[in-house]
Structure 1
């Protein structure tokens, strides 16, 4: 996983797309996002929100269920893409 801690803006974007999170304080970065209500349509919406918030584009090969498994796995991909694009 990424060694750089994700910014609060990342967590805010992810939480916005998790309909089953009623207590954001109980959210953990390793909880499977699917268990928190993220479905395939939500995954696409989350991807678009992250692209807008962090000014990058997800390459097709990074749009996988493994990448969107948890906030940790997603931040690993996003942080790599931000470094690459930046």
Structure 2
């Protein structure tokens, strides 16, 4: 079996959102989620489950549909949200650990990659 880059909780949450994925079937970073039954309602439920399981926040409108192309891209979004929750801008180019709560999720995330950016994010201290 191929080693996947995500944690067990992500794997479990994702599998519960894929009704056409057979039990024990391998889930790879490039697996097309739509082919395993993930639809728009499933995307919304998956977001809620990931927010709970991984302690992240994806405010409405911050998750483009392309984020659900495959597990690799979605895992990148979760990691970016986790990182964004740990760091904040001090108004300049330096960054420091966050002491407050993130206001607007993954501002500046690009649909062209899964790494994301937190440029232009607003914070509540």
TM-score range, shorter chain: 0.7 to 0.9
For 1:48, the equivalent position in structure 2 comes to 48
Q: Which runs of 5+ in 1 are unaligned?
A: none
For 1:66, the equivalent position in structure 2 comes to 66
What are the within-5 Å matches in structure 2 for residues 14-33 of structure 1? 14-33=14-33
Query: What TM-score does the superposition give when structure 2 sets the normalisation length?
Result: 0.61
Q: CA RMSD in A?
A: 1.3
Number of residue pairs matched by the alignment: 82
For 1:77, the equivalent position in structure 2 comes to 77
**More moved, 34-43 vs 56-65:** 56-65
Distance 2:74 2:62 in 1: 10
Q: 4+ residue runs of structure 1 moved beyond 2 angstroms?
A: 23-27, 59-62
Distance 2:16 2:46 in 1: 8
Alpha-carbon distance, 1:25 to partner: 3.2
Alpha-carbon distance, 1:27 to partner: 2.2
Alpha-carbon distance, 1:84 to partner: 1.1
Alpha-carbon distance, 1:46 to partner: 0.3
Query: What TM-score does the superposition give when structure 1 sets the normalisation length?
Result: 0.86
Q: Compare relative contact order (CA 8 Å, sep 6+) and give the higher one, 1 or 2.
A: 1
